[in-house]
Amino acid sequence: MALVRNRSNLTACSPTNLPDWSALIPVLPAEGARRVALYAALRRLIETGALPPGSKLPTTRDLAARLGLARGAAVAAFEMLVADGFAVARTGAGTYVAAEVPRLGAPPAPVTAPPRPKAASVLPGTLGVATADDCTMLQFRSLLHRHLARPEAAHFSYGDPQGNAGLRAEIAAYLRSARGVRCEAGQILLTSGTQQALDLVTRATLAPGDPVWIEDPGYPGARAVMEGAGLRLVGVPVDAEGLEVALGEQRSPGARAAYVTPSHQFPLGVTLSMRRRLALIDWARRAGAWILEDDYDSEFRHAGPPLAAMQGMDAAGRVIYIGTFSKALFPGLRIGYAVLPEPLLGPVLRLRSRTDRSPPTLAEGALADFLREGHFAAHLRRARRRVKAARDALVAGLRAGPLTVEPPDQGLHLIAGLPEGMEDAGLVARAAEAGLGVWALSSMCLGPTRQGLVVGFSGFAPEALESAASRFARSLA
């Protein structure tokens, strides 16, 4: 929008109307307030330059007669133009277009949104699909209704940025008994999931340029968060014992943090051995660094009880434990959590208060009841049975071709090994054509690439998984 300036004073304004004012008489819409419609039409003539600065407007009597309006509507429209600075009134001389008015250029071309692809159905094998069943959803719906029928005052104001105290107490009790985490409700921060927890923690505790160890291959979501925070990522290879701590110390002994998935490394599925857990904790203590422990799917161990968390082994308070209900229940719940060492609680909460203020109190209240009343434990028992059956069906289907597959003891995904010379990137589309959703392992590598396919098995019927997997595997043969 340009500004047209006329430096002459109003005494220099033309004393007469435009030569052919009748050609500029606006056409008003059939409906709506007449004064507003006339004001908008005259303002448009001024802004487009049809009525240049200094031009004299017709009298309200003449304009009202031409347009069939009440004179009062025309007077009101002129008063609006004067009040908004588009016109000036001179006693005894009439009303003129102001000396300085905004000038609109040619109307912009209409904005056309780019075509969006139609939402494709989620293919069997796609990662991150929920495990909740009809019974779970019925119970959760009942709990939501309970909180809506007797709403708490917290639903009608901005809540605690740390999250619902009742839910934090339930999570703390669950983590102490199920995961060996040493925590109290006051250490827990509720988030919208792992991504937000990582984002808040990294931005509150680390500075752009700080070096951070990250597993290689590793979780792309964590890599994206840390790159977005301007951190310098140091890829540390993963072998059969998990993150190679000694190699991490060689590559970056002064790193400020290490991101790990020790209970079930994503994506390779290995467990960080005890000697490396202790070595990692010792390094963090000596370096004054933080360990970000992402325990994303520990509830799903198919052989024996879940492994204890690293956080419970840390006497120095250097481990930040992160968990989520997206895998155990469903991603649409948007509730995760972080167990923060006391020195980090203040900085992280201040950052949280500046971003989204507080978590959703309605879902928090229902989830607190879900845990307190034993529904969560019953849900996990049912979910584990379903997930194990889905895993076995996926393995059977993939073994119909030349892929190398072993059923994992934990988690919600597996790695399918490829024959020598076959590249995973070219197989993603081919798997989709067969109806199977896969992820290329090479896309998760920072250093030398590894070949393989990452395939999920939660949230799908065993028959659908086996059918899609066998079609894909046979196409490779």
Burial class (CB in 10 A: 0-12, 13-18, 19+), 70: exposed
The structure tokens 């917290």 sit at: 154
Distance of CA 220 to the CA centre of its chain: 14
pLDDT at 39 (0 to 100): 87
Residue-wise pLDDT for 409-443, tens only, equals: 999 999 999 999 899 999 999 999 999 999 999 99
Residue 147 and residue 366: Cα distance in Å, rounded?
7
93-131: buried (b, 16+ CB within 10 Å) or exposed (e) per residue? ebbbbbbebebeeeeeeeeeeeeeeeeeeebbbbbebbb
**If phi over 0 gives left and psi between -120 and 50 gives alpha, with beta otherwise, what is residue 68?**
left
Q: Please give the structure tokens belonging to residue 159.
A: 């809540």
Q: Please give the structure tokens belonging to residue 52.
A: 């240049």
Question: Do residues 338 and 469 lie in contact, with contact meaning Cβ atoms separated by under 8 Å?
Answer: no
Residue 387 and residue 457: Cα distance in Å, rounded?
7
pLDDT at 413 (0 to 100): 96
19-31: buried (b, 16+ CB within 10 Å) or exposed (e) per residue? eebeeeebebeee
Q: How far is CA 305 from CA 271, 279, 309, in A?
A: 14, 24, 12
Residue 37 and residue 28: Cα distance in Å, rounded?
6
| Helical (H) or strand (E) element with 144 | helix 134-149
Q: What contacts 341, CB < 8 A, 6 or more positions away?
A: 187, 317, 318, 319, 320
Distance of CA 69 to the CA centre of its chain: 54
| Helical (H) or strand (E) element with 364 | helix 361-372
Residue 350 and residue 290: Cα distance in Å, rounded?
19
Look up residue 293 and give its DSSP letter: E
Domain covering 22-97 assigned CATH 3.40.50.2300 in the classification: no
Question: Do residues 232 and 212 lie in contact, with contact meaning Cβ atoms separated by under 8 Å?
Answer: yes
The pLDDT profile of the chain, 477 residues, written as one tens digit per residue, is 444 444 334 334 444 444 455 556 676 776 778 888 888 888 888 888 888 888 888 888 888 888 888 888 888 988 988 988 888 988 888 899 888 887 776 556 666 666 654 545 799 999 999 888 999 999 999 999 999 998 888 888 888 899 999 999 999 999 999 999 999 999 999 999 999 999 999 999 999 999 999 999 999 999 999 999 999 999 999 999 999 999 999 999 999 999 999 999 999 999 999 999 999 999 999 999 999 999 999 899 887 776 789 999 999 999 999 999 999 999 999 999 999 999 999 999 999 999 888 888 899 999 999 999 999 999 999 999 999 999 999 999 999 999 999 999 999 999 999 999 899 999 999 999 999 999 999 999 998 899 999 999 999 999 999 999 999 999 998
pLDDT at 341 (0 to 100): 96
Each domain of the chain, given as residue ranges in start order, spans: 22-97, 135-377, 380-475
Burial class (CB in 10 A: 0-12, 13-18, 19+), 238: buried
What topology is assigned to 135-377 in CATH? Aspartate Aminotransferase; domain 2 (3.40.640)
Of the options 3.90.1150.10, 3.40.50.460, 3.40.50.1370, 1.20.1050.10, the CATH number for the domain spanning 380-475? 3.90.1150.10
Please count the CA atoms within 13 angstroms of the CA of 125 that sit on its side-chain side.
Answer: 32
Q: How long, in residues, is the chain?
A: 477
Which of 238, 194, 234 shows the shortest CA–CA distance to 210?
234
pLDDT at 3 (0 to 100): 43
Question: Do residues 176 and 185 lie in contact, with contact meaning Cβ atoms separated by under 8 Å?
Answer: no
Residue 99 and residue 87: Cα distance in Å, rounded?
8
